[in-house]
Amino acid sequence: MSHDRRVVALAVFAGLPGIAVSLAFVWLEPLSARVQWTVTIALLGAWTGLTVAVREHVVRPLGTLANMLAALREGDYSIRARVEDAADPLSLVYLEVNNLEEILRGQRLGAVEATETLRKVLEEIDVAVMAFDHEETLRIVNRAGERLLGQPAERLIGKKATELRLEEALKGVAPRTLEISFPGGTGRWELRRSVVRQEGYPLQLLALSDLSRALREEERQAWKRIIRVLSHEINNSLAPIKSITGSLQSLLRRERLPADLDEDVQRGLQVISTRAEALGRFMASYAKLARLPQPELGPVDVPALVQRVADLETRLTVDVVGGGQMTLQADADQLEQALINLVRNAVDATLEAGGDGQVTIRWLTRSGKLHILVEDEGPGLGDTGNLFVPFYTTKPGGSGIGLVLSRQIAEGHGGSLVLESRGAGQGVRARLVLPTDLKA
């Protein structure tokens, strides 16, 4: 039975006893038939009228509330209920619905303004923004994306990533630099990728920034630095070689050769050989830094990797502080090389401080990232401005590429490497941060 029928039934049953008693008195008393029928009709009419009135007073407010809620559901905030008495329970319900309407209207206005602002920003920025669904179908593209892909949004929406030559952008490490040719431009692009939701469904959001101009300037500066470093190292080797060669030539041009000529020649050739070997090691180190390939991702057992690196160091015992079982997608060989460099530097610093200190490796996860910490008890950080300058070193016989290579490996995995001071006389902490959500 519906609600309004239940209300009518309750009203009928509520008046039934009184009507029955009244009709009994009317019909049992010695009254004329005309009076009896007149009173009976009046009683029944009043009973029916009151029942209808009760129904209207109960059902009509509910209908009004239903209409208001339906309007709110449809986004129509123009309907408001009239509140006559704030102390009346029904008026309180109307008042609360009116307040809810005000709140929803404000939220709707804020959402519309935020959406319009976001749309304007996406249209005006010089970054191509595109969103793909789980089937790699394009769902959103801004004006810069239209220019880059050479077609209007109406023709782009619904196309697959393979048709747009963007399938590689949906995979691998991000952020990273891509070199792709598009109908609207050719060059190098910085790729950033994240996940957003539209109507409850996840979308992969791609942002492509043109790096050509900035990279060309960076390349010029990098070439200048490389030429300066190469010139310095080559001159350091060629200067003594040229000096010794000139001296030996002067000795050999004499009419009477000195008695210790053989000894002088041997020493000169030894210096030439030593400098040539040093120059060869320098060039080999440079080639190693320049040829670092893209990481080949695979499952890496972090505790096993850290323990293996610690066992490789024989000069000093390296303590491993367990951080729990952890597996991530990474290039095991590159990651091991980065940790070897960091541990070697930590041991060198500790031995430099007297050799009584301790080197510790530990790891932890924070905000979806793996932090591997290598801590030493050496003299602390020195010239922090040159820490990651290629070929800069303060260690005798050092190549100056260990930290640079380690940071390059970290950034190739979408992570970072920083060196932190542990405090006065406490040594240095190398923090290698890697994302745990990389996909192979």
Q: Using one digit for the tens of pLDDT, what is the confidence trace for 209-241?
A: 877 766 667 667 766 766 666 676 677 667 777
Confidence of residue 361 (pLDDT cuts 50, 70, 90): very high
Closest CA to 319 of 327, 332, 328, 310: 310
Tokens of 171: 């995979």
CATH code linked to domain 125-210:
3.30.450.20
Write down the pTM of the prediction.
Answer: 0.42
Q: Which CATH class is domain 298-435?
A: alpha beta
| pLDDT tens track for 241-250 | 777 777 777 7
> Poorest-confidence range of 114-123, 157-166, 343-352?
114-123
Contact criterion met (CB below 8 Å) for 138 and 203: no
Q: Tell whether the model's pLDDT for residue 354 goes beyond 80.
A: no
Q: What pLDDT score does 12 carry?
A: 74
Q: Tell whether the model's pLDDT for residue 317 goes beyond 60.
A: yes
% of the chain residues with pLDDT over 70:
79
CA distance 381 to 375: 12
- Taking the domains of the chain in order of start, what are their residue ranges? 3-103, 125-210, 222-290, 298-435
Residues ≥6 apart with Cβ < 8 Å to 189: 177, 178, 179, 180, 208, 209, 210, 211
CA distance 352 to 346: 10
